[in-house]
Chain A
């Protein structure tokens, strides 16, 4: 039986890159449907994505990456997809490497596979502070989830049906990637990292500038800690 696969591409004002991202996914993952979640873009992201052959979910307002991702998961849950792959709309994730993530999930080794930049190679980045922040977050998440997490902010992920259904109801907002790992672990899902390489972003810029970085480093660890104190959403069998 072949699994129904859906590539979810969150995009906010990515008209410059979304066509090539959709094209690359369709070329590299011919069995997967592609849905672009247009997060209230003011440019032509939606039309260009549709023209490139993707389905498009257009949010009427900008919800942020968390709200956009959850829209994709809600769609995947309703349309009965077995596997969902998150691929950013800015072109930094290489769809040809998604196969390794999908294999992990389909073989049942884990419920979610995360493409990590830092499993195979050393941490590098634009600034020392960003490296430090990422390293701290990785250690913190590894500690609370008692597993090895090296790239907690990676948005290159594949999940199985159970996680699709879970994320459709429960997905963090406002820099959600690290929290999304913690909340899965808290509810008994297994998360595994897979080494990948990422390209420099082709367009757009990082959503995190210096001032927001402070907010990020306080909000995310706090939200993770609070999440662990919260009651489980689902019971482990």
Chain B
């Protein structure tokens, strides 16, 4: 094993270990970690078996195999970012619904307040 290979493997393992630590301490949800897990494992595979990237490069027709590695990296990062975007969209939707619910509940509470205090308070719309 060459020095750079050892370094890559150690880096990958450290990355995976960090991820598991985050999951263990509940700072990272398992469903959100899946895409990171896939990234880590794939990079580990490339580090352990160096001709894997050459084979991949030949298979898709890339003459210079480091470019193939770059391609894989970019695709993985794009997948992760897209995943983040969907998570953000979901969160935005939920925030909106919660804010709306809060406005409706606040109205109900404020409406109930004066009615309990004084009976002659005019209530515009209550059934």
Residues of A within 8 A of B (CB): 33, 37, 53, 55-61, 63, 67, 70-71, 74-75, 78-80, 173
Contact of A78 among B96, B104, B106 (CB under 8 A): B104
Q: Are A60 and B103 in contact (CB under 8 A)?
A: yes
Q: Does B49 contact A (CB under 8 A)?
A: no
User: CA of A55 to CA of B107 in the docked complex: distance in angstroms?
Assistant: 8
- Closest A residue by C-beta to B93: A173
* 23 A-B pairs with C-beta separation under 8 A: A37-B103, A55-B107, A55-B124, A57-B103, A57-B106, A58-B103, A58-B106, A58-B107, A59-B99, A59-B100, A60-B102, A61-B95, A61-B99, A63-B99, A67-B96, A70-B96, A71-B104, A75-B104, A75-B107, A78-B104, A79-B127, A80-B127, A173-B96
Show the binding face of B for A, using Cβ within 8 Å: 95-96, 99-100, 102-104, 106-107, 124-125, 127
What's the nearest-Cβ distance from chain B to residue A180, in Å? 15
Consensus secondary structure, chain A interface: mixed
Q: In the complex, how many residue pairs between chain A and chain B have their CB atoms under 8 Å apart? A: 44
By beta carbon, the residue of chain B nearest A70 is B100
Residue in chain B with minimal CB distance to A34 = B124
B-side contacts of A71, CB under 8 Å: 100, 103-104
Contacts A56-B107, A57-B107, A71-B104 supplied; 14 other A-B pairs, CB < 8 Å: A55-B107, A57-B103, A57-B104, A59-B103, A63-B96, A63-B100, A67-B96, A70-B96, A70-B100, A71-B100, A71-B103, A74-B104, A75-B107, A79-B127
Nearest A residue to B107 by beta-carbon distance?
A57
Tell which of B99, B107, B125 touches A67, judged by Cβ atoms closer than 8 Å: B99
Q: Are B104 and A53 in contact (CB under 8 A)?
A: no
Instruction: Evaluate contact between A60 and B125: CB separation under 8 angstroms.
Output: no
Q: 5 closest A-B pairs (Cβ-Cβ)?
A: A57-B103, A71-B100, A33-B125, A59-B103, A67-B96
